[in-house]
Amino acid sequence: MNKKEARALRRQQKKEEKWQRKYTKVAEGSRFMQWRHKRPFWGATLTVLAALLILYIPLHLYAIAMIPGSFVFVGFLFGGLILIIGVLAYIYPQFSTVFGVITIFLSVLSIMGALGGFIVGTILGIVSGSLLVAWEKQAMPAGESKRNGKKQKQLVEQETASTAQT
C-alpha cells in the first residue's frame, strides 16, 4: 500500500469515526435531539422563517391583496405555500428533496408579488430549500454504534501500525 492510498484510507476512517461519534452523541442525547435528527430541522425552520418574511409585504397590503388576480394576491399564495411546505417538512421528512425543490422555485418566484420579503426572504428560501434537498437520514441499529466505534478504532490502529512498518 503506497502513502497516497494510506492517506486516503486514514481520511476515510476519520470521516467514519466522526460519524460514529455523531451516532453515539445522538443515541445518548436528549429526546429533542433525537426528534431533531429524524427530520430536516434546520431546513424546515428556515423555510418557515423565509415564508413569514415573504408574507410580510402581502400582509402589510392586505386590503388590496385580497383582490384575486392582483400580483399581491400571488405573493400571498407563494408565501402561504412556502409556509405549508415548511410545516410539512417537519411531518414528512421522507419528502424533503421534493419540498426543497418546491421551496427554491417558489422563493425565486415570490420576487413577483411579494418582492421576496425584500429579497431577504427569497435568499433565505433558497438556502433553506437547498438544506432540504441535501438532507438525508441514516439509520443504524442502536447496539451497533458502540460496537462499530470500537471496531473502527482497532482498524485504524492496525492500519497506522502497518503503514509505519512499511
Partner 1 sequence: MKHENHIIVGRTWKRKFIVALLSGFLALGGLISVFGFTGTAFAMPLGGMGDFYVEFDELNGEGFKLIPEIGETGESDSEPMVRNLIDEVKIENLHIYKDLKLPGTDKWVRFHVRADGETTITGLIQDARFIDADLSFDDLQIEEKNTDDFSENWTQRADTITIEDAKLVTDYLFQEFVSLEGAKISTEMIDEPEIVDDGN
Tell me the window of 8-16, 46-54, 125-133, 153-161 that interacts with partner 1 (CB under 8 A): 125-133
Contacts (CB under 8 A) with partner 1, residues 90-119: 93, 100-101, 104-105, 107-109, 111-115
- Dihedrals phi, psi of 11, to nearest 5 degrees: -65, -45
The smaller minimum CB distance to partner 1, of residues 76 and 83, is found at 76
Neighbours of 158 (CB within 10 A): 10
Exactly one of 4, 30, 142, 164 binds partner 1 (CB under 8 A); that residue is 142
Question: Does residue 70 belong to the site contacting partner 1 (CB under 8 A)?
Answer: yes
Burial bucket for residue 20 (CB in 10 Å: 0-12, 13-18, 19+): buried
Computed from CA positions of residues 80, 112, 103, 46, in that sequence, does the dihedral angle turn out positive or negative? negative
Taking Cα atoms as reference points, which of 115, 116, 112, 114 lies closest to residue 124?
A: 116
Query: Which 8-state DSSP code applies to residue 166?
Result: -
Q: How far is the CB of 135 from partner 1 (least distance, A)?
A: 6
Nearest distance from C-beta of residue 13 to partner 1, angstroms: 18
Which amino acid, 61? L
Cβ at position 75, least distance to partner 1 in Å: 6
Nearest distance from C-beta of residue 5 to partner 1, angstroms: 23
Contact call for residue 44 and partner 1 (CB under 8 A): no
For the beta carbon of residue 92, count every other beta carbon within 10 angstroms. Answer: 12
Q: DSSP assignment, residue 29?
A: S
Confirm or reject binding of residue 129 to partner 1 (CB under 8 A): yes
Interface residues toward partner 1, by CB under 8 A: 19, 22-23, 26-27, 34, 36-41, 57, 60-61, 64, 70-72, 75, 93, 100-101, 104-105, 107-109, 111-115, 122-123, 126-127, 129-131, 133-143, 145
